[in-house]
Amino acid sequence: MSTFEPFFAALGLTEWCKGETGQVSNLTSLADLAAKAKGEDEVILSIWDFPFPSMDALHASCPAFPKSRELSRGIENVFLDIKDNLSLVLDPLTQPLSWLLQGTLWLFETTPWWMMIPLLLALVMLVGRSRMLVGFVAVCLFGIAFVDYYTFAAQTLAVIFVCSILCVIVGVPVGIAMSRSDRLERALIPILDMLQTLPAFVYLIPLIFLFSVTEPKLYGIAIILYAIVPVIRLTDLGIRLVDVEVIEAATAYGLTERQKLTKVQIPLALPNIMAGINQTIMMSLSMVVIASLVSAPGLGVLVLRGIRNLELGVGLLSGLGIVVLAIVLDRTTKLALTRFSPDQNQ
């Protein structure tokens, strides 16, 4: 006798459980087989061995009850049924992202190193205003180029540049809107929590079904969804942390809501916003490596090659290149942060 047959019998579902087979259960457990081999009639389970009433355990006692695989297959079927309609809507909306990624990759790859590296160093100097940082970045970039990984590093920087800029363009206005509406904040917090806690690989699963692996927008959307959360959260937090007395003073001076936002709240919240941008860039870099599984270019391809072909040197050098890029981006954005908040510790 199966474990949960009395449960279905107590509910009056015995006939339903028989289904088309006319039998309540045609499955025999290993414990029952062992008992029969020993000449015993039935095995009585102790409370210690009592199974959890999972879908598969209930199915063993009632064949009409669905298995867990039927649930997961149903989810797959629903997704596949709406896939074509979703693609008709999403393809035109996301195609500009593919064009932007392709154009930026082409620009970073075709620009000669003797032009690109000085431009990057000039950008670092403009943002960080530190000659020591510029020297450090120069050593890092020339070191990466010296081991013939310059092209891969340029591809990684191109993808991070596009995705980070889009995260800021979308994330900062969303964060501002959340700070001005408690209802919107309550509605978006569960979504942000989900995006922040989902494993990185899970982002790729539905996107692979919706888009071709050869399309840049596949990994672009995955990176943006993964990295956009910090800039939204910290923008919202920064504006909400502005002192109430400052807002009251601005109101007393006759500033409109728009003026209070642009001239008081956003300037005072800039340190938090910059910290969110810093975290977004770091998360974009980490996701670029994982997105190499779905054709994202850059140093992640070399890491994947090192794992796949057991090329220890390639994997370690490319991993070191990613670490160097992470340090460069982190130090540059943190120095930019100190310009808005002089008391911020590096």
For residue 257, give the CATH number of its domain. Answer: 1.10.3720.10
Residues 154 and 23 in one domain: no
pLDDT confidence of residue 185: 93
121 contact partners, CB below 8 Å, separation of at least 6: 134, 137, 138, 141
Residues 62 and 92 in one domain: no
User: Average model confidence (pLDDT) for the chain?
Assistant: 85
pLDDT-based confidence at 279, cuts 50/70/90? very high
Answer with the residue of higher pLDDT: 39 or 266: 266
pLDDT-based confidence at 346, cuts 50/70/90? very low
Residues 116 and 211 in one domain: yes
> Backbone dihedral region of 51: left (phi > 0), alpha (psi from -120 to 50 degrees) or beta?
beta
pLDDT confidence of residue 59: 84
Q: Is residue 120 part of a domain?
A: yes
Q: Is residue 131 part of a domain?
A: yes
- The CA radius of gyration of the chain, in Å to the nearest whole number, is 28
pLDDT confidence of residue 160: 94
Q: Is residue 54 part of a domain?
A: yes
Q: Mean per-residue pLDDT for 23-29?
A: 50
Residue 15 has pLDDT above 70, yes or no: yes
Residues 44 and 82 in one domain: no
Residue 22 has pLDDT above 70, yes or no: no
Residues 254 and 317 in one domain: yes
Residues 98 and 222 in one domain: yes
Full residue range of the structural domain in which residue 203 is found:
78-340
Residue 64 has pLDDT above 60, yes or no: yes
pLDDT > 70 in the chain, percent: 89
Residues 58 and 31 in one domain: yes
99 contact partners, CB below 8 Å, separation of at least 6: none
Residue 47 has pLDDT above 90, yes or no: no
Q: Is residue 114 part of a domain?
A: yes
Q: Is residue 204 part of a domain?
A: yes
Residue 345 has pLDDT above 50, yes or no: no
Residue 27 has pLDDT above 50, yes or no: no
pLDDT-based confidence at 37, cuts 50/70/90? low
pLDDT confidence of residue 54: 85
pLDDT confidence of residue 200: 82
Answer with the residue of higher pLDDT: 117 or 29: 117
pLDDT confidence of residue 238: 93
Residue 1 has pLDDT above 60, yes or no: no
Residues 312 and 181 in one domain: yes
Residues 121 and 163 in one domain: yes
Q: Is residue 198 part of a domain?
A: yes
Residue 104 has pLDDT above 50, yes or no: yes
Residues 111 and 213 in one domain: yes
Residue 93 has pLDDT above 80, yes or no: yes
Which tens digits make up the pLDDT trace of 205-244?
888 888 888 889 999 999 999 999 999 999 999 999 999 8
Q: Is residue 72 part of a domain?
A: no
Name the domain count of the chain: 2
Answer with the residue of higher pLDDT: 150 or 344: 150
127 contact partners, CB below 8 Å, separation of at least 6: 332, 333, 335, 336
Residues 19 and 98 in one domain: no
Residues 12 and 107 in one domain: no
What string of H, E and C letters represents the secondary structure of 261-328? HHHHHHHHHHHHHHHHHHHHHHHHHHHHHHHHHHCCCCHHHHHHHHHHHCCHHHHHHHHHHHHHHHHH
Q: Is residue 71 part of a domain?
A: no
Which tens digits make up the pLDDT trace of 174-207?
999 999 999 999 999 999 999 988 888 888 888 8
170 contact partners, CB below 8 Å, separation of at least 6: 224, 228
Q: Which helix (H) or strand (E) segment is 29 a member of?
A: none
